[in-house]
Structure 1
Amino acid sequence: MASKHWANSLRPHKLPLRRRLARASVALIYRQADDGGVELLFIQRARREGDPWSGDMAFPGGRMQPEDATPRATAERETLEETGVDLVRHGRFQARLSDLVTRQHSRWRPMVVTPYVYEWRGPQSVLLNHEVEQTVWVPLNYLAARENQSRLPWRTPFGTLKMPCCRYQGYCIWGLSYSMLQELLAWDRSHNAVTTSKQE
């Protein structure tokens, strides 16, 4: 069992001005693999001209709409629309992670992104929409292993930065998705949630 210090340090951070900014949500979805391990679901974004994240690896999700009752409902709706994965019927909600700030597509205005963690207990089939090129299930142990961490050169107006990332079979997980992944791994180490779910 994790110490009280760890549990306190992993409480999700909620940005105080989040309700005044554009909002988006994503779903971090894990499942038990055939070999007894745990896999995490990623999408590869469709390649589209003018999209700064075209072809990137990400978690399913998107912008909050007026009809969404909560940011969590946004994550569930967007996941269903993008992948056909129905979290309301077959997902088991686990946790809310910390808010992150990014910019809106084609704009420089800030947007708050909130990640939600789910365990998937439904069918393996997916139904992708035009925003998603493919889905990829990646072993959680692979994502957590230190030897699989790398650096991605990222050009900015101020020079080239070496961004932390994880490479898997030709895919590269970096940016906001990498930050969310690190908090998920820390959350699991603290709560043993993924390990416990495998034993149920």
Structure 2
Amino acid sequence: MENAHEELLFIQRARREGDPWSGDMAFPGGRLQPEDESARAAAERETLEETGMDLGRHGRYITRLSDLITRHHSRLRPMVVTPYVFEWHGPKTILPNHEVERAVWVPLDYLAAGENQSQLPWRTPLGTLNMPCCRYQDACIWGLSYSMLQELLTAGINAKSKIPQ
């Protein structure tokens, strides 16, 4: 994969009481709404709402990554997360909404480097687990975002290559 000068956008979610992902690093995203034509349309809408980045106007769709099954921390029903990858051709200025504390552009080659991989101790009722993560400056990318990142890196997806869906 040719990663030189390519970057991925991560957001740090705003800290809110009762939000299980409060303060976590993530990709822009959110829930499917009745007015969304598809999961991809929801991803585009959520990106615009959270960052001011209009993927329909300045983005080029690259691919869809694998669905991830998780559950909302307050519910037993599973939740499906469907990640999409876009190449950005617009300004790098981010206009975060109330859900976003900050946005960080991270070089793809940094994210791919083995020496930047780490572990995050995560306490559970059964004990502490060491979760894989990537640390960048004062940010820690882990959990679902880390899983998406690993698929992206493993597949060798970049702006010049598109894997089949």
Per the normalisation by structure 2, the TM-score is 0.92
Instruction: Say yes or no: does 1:150 pair with 2:115.
Output: no
In structure 2, the residue matched to 1:177 is 145
Q: CA deviation at 1:105?
A: 5.4
Q: Distance in 2 between matches of 1:176 and 1:68?
A: 23
* 1:194 pairs with 2:151: no
Query: Residues of 2 paired with 1:73 and 1:167: CA distance?
Result: 30
Please state how far the C-alpha of 1:104 moved relative to its aligned partner: 2.4
Quote the RMSD (CA, aligned, Å): 1.8
Report the Cα offset of residue 143 of structure 1.
Answer: 0.3
More helix by percentage: 1
Partner deviation per Cα, 1:102-122 (whole Å, 9 max, x = no partner): 212532321000000000001
Equivalent pairs counted in the alignment come to 161
Deviations 1:59-116 (A, max 9, x none): 0000101110000000000000011000000000000000001212532321000000
> Which residues of 2 match residues 45-56 of structure 1 at below 5 A?
45-56=13-24
* CA distance in structure 1 between the aligned counterparts of 2:68 and 2:26, rounded to whole angstroms: 14
Query: Please, what TM-score do these two structures have when normalized by structure 1?
Result: 0.76
Q: Percent of pairs identical after alignment?
A: 75
Deviations 1:28-74 (A, max 9, x none): xxxx9xxx611100000001111111110000000101110000000
Q: Which residue of 2 aligns with 1:128?
A: 96
Partners in 1 of 2:128 and 2:29 — Cα distance? 29
1:194 alignment partner AA: A
Closer, same or farther: CA 161–105 of 1 in aligned 2, 3 Å: closer
Q: Do the aligned residues in 1 keep the contact of 2:118 with 2:134 (CA within 8 Å)?
A: yes
Q: Secondary structure at the match of 2:86?
A: strand
Cα distance in 2 for partners of 1:102, 1:56 equals 16
Counterpart mapping for 1:53-72 below 5 A: 53-72=21-40
Gaps of 5+ in 1: 2-31
- Secondary structure of 1:155's partner? strand
Per the alignment, in what secondary structure is the counterpart of residue 48 of structure 1?
coil
The 2-side partners of 1:170 and 1:88 are apart by 31
